[in-house]
Amino acid sequence: MIKISNVRKSFQNLEVLKGISLEIEDSEIYGIIGQSGAGKSTLLRCINGLETYDSGTIEINGTTVSAKDKKALKNLQKQMGMIFQGFNLLERLDVYDNIALPMKFWGRKTKSPESQKKILDLIRLVGLEDKVHAKPRELSGGQKQRVAIARALVLDPMFLLCDEATSALDPEITKEILSLLQKINRELGITVIIVTHQMEVVKQICQRVAFLSDGGVLAEGKPEDLFVKPERTEIKTFLREESELLPTEGVNIQLFFSGEGSEEPVVTQMARSLDSDFSICWAKLEDFRENVYGSLVINVKETDKDRVCSFLDDKNVAWEVV
């Protein structure tokens, strides 16, 4: 488990992390989302010790991340595989040797039968069996990221840290890479931490997410709770939801659907059962890890408001007047 308590970090006069506290559980897929400059990469670099922090603590399974004890830090870093937007592969090495690189760095024999088996198993896991001896320039972006993922796993880490790992890829390839990360999490039990500014990434695979804004954690929780019913204006702005376009006449009611109830035709039932008309002003339906969550804003006459609200209560639909 990763426990981050009240971590602060400044670069010269600029305070970039302003007292961050988070807990990341074993074997979860945890997202860190926020606008550019929010401090996401800095936080990730503090977690893996590439960057020092000024105060607070970061503990990994009870061991504090600190530059003071170099040996302990190196051992922690071995537990953390890392992938980036730019892949960072060595051009002169082929797929196999790029993946073997961390083993070399740690003085392991890369030609031993166990090492060879490990590397070939990883190549199979990431689906690059036919590219074992290809050079990076012969690979697509998605394939390069697969090599980087295999390389990050070669020392059997407990954590996989991903900094904008899919930001340079098109939406289809992004989905494939995210499915691969999901498979790694499921089959190898590795905790995956994903830093991203892409909502789609969080929706598709993260079980929990922290929304970072200006060096602080603005909200934390399940993506469906944070994004279907965002309570903070900053999150709404991030999602670019334009609630000011709603009608000024009548009453605007926002309905929230979650999980199984999403497909039930509550709205048409309500129109029939109350024998009343209303307009649909705004709607969204989104997939979160294969579950559908949605939100809908309807505009009703002032005189219908109470009947509509009690109908929604009867149907167990969450609502609020907006």
Ligand X SMILES: Nc1ncnc2c1ncn2[C@@H]1O[C@H](COP(=O)(O)OP(=O)(O)OP(=O)(O)O)[C@@H](O)[C@H]1O
Residue ranges binding Mg ion (CB under 5 A) = 41
Least Cβ distance, residue 11 to ligand X (angstroms): 3
DSSP 24: E
Picked from ligand X, Mg ion, none, the partner binding residue 197 (CB below 5 to 8 A depending on kind) is: ligand X
- Closer residue to Mg ion, CB minimum distance, 41 or 143: 41
CB of residue 40 vs ligand X: minimum separation in angstroms?
A: 4
Nearer to ligand X, 137 or 240 (CB): 240
Six token digits for residue 296: 């809908």
Judged by beta carbon distances under 5 to 8 A according to partner kind, the member of ligand X, Mg ion, none in contact with residue 265 is none
Are 31 and 196 in contact by the 8 Å Cβ rule? The answer is: yes
Interface ranges with ligand X (CB under 6 A): 11, 14, 16, 34, 36-42, 197
Residue 157 binds: one of Mg ion, ligand X, none (C-beta under 5 to 8 A by kind): none
Are 257 and 294 in contact by the 8 Å Cβ rule? The answer is yes
From the list ligand X, Mg ion, none, pick the one residue 11 interacts with, judged by a Cβ distance below 5 to 8 Å according to partner type.
ligand X
Q: List the one residue out of 251, 255, 260 whose CA is nearest residue 312.
A: 255
Q: How far is the CB of 43 from ligand X (least distance, A)?
A: 7
- Least distance CB 195 / Mg ion (angstroms): 6
Minimum CB distance to Mg ion smaller for 45 or for 131: 45
CA dist list (Å): 124 to 112, 113, 121, 152, 162: 18, 16, 5, 15, 21
Q: Which is nearer to ligand X, 12 or 248 (CB)?
A: 12
Nearer to Mg ion, 47 or 266 (CB): 47
Q: What is the rounded distance in angstroms from the CA atom of residue 76 to the CA atom of residue 58?
A: 12
Query: Least distance from C-beta 20 to ligand X, angstroms?
Result: 11
Minimum gap (Å) between residue 84 Cβ and ligand X: 11
Q: Which is nearer to ligand X, 51 or 262 (CB)?
A: 51
Distance CA 177, CA 146 (A): 7
The item of ligand X, Mg ion, none sharing an interface with residue 37, based on CB under 5 to 8 Å by kind, is ligand X
Would strands 29-34 and 208-213 be described as parallel, antiparallel, or unpaired?
A: parallel
- Contact of residue 245 among ligand X, Mg ion, none (CB under 5-8 Å per partner type): none
**Dihedral angle at the C-alpha atoms of 194, 196, 198, 200, nearest 10 degrees?**
0
Angle at the Cα of 194 from the Cα atoms of 10 and 175, rounded to 5 degrees? 145
β-strand partners of 208: 30
Query: Which residues on adjacent β-strands are paired with residue 195?
Result: 32, 163
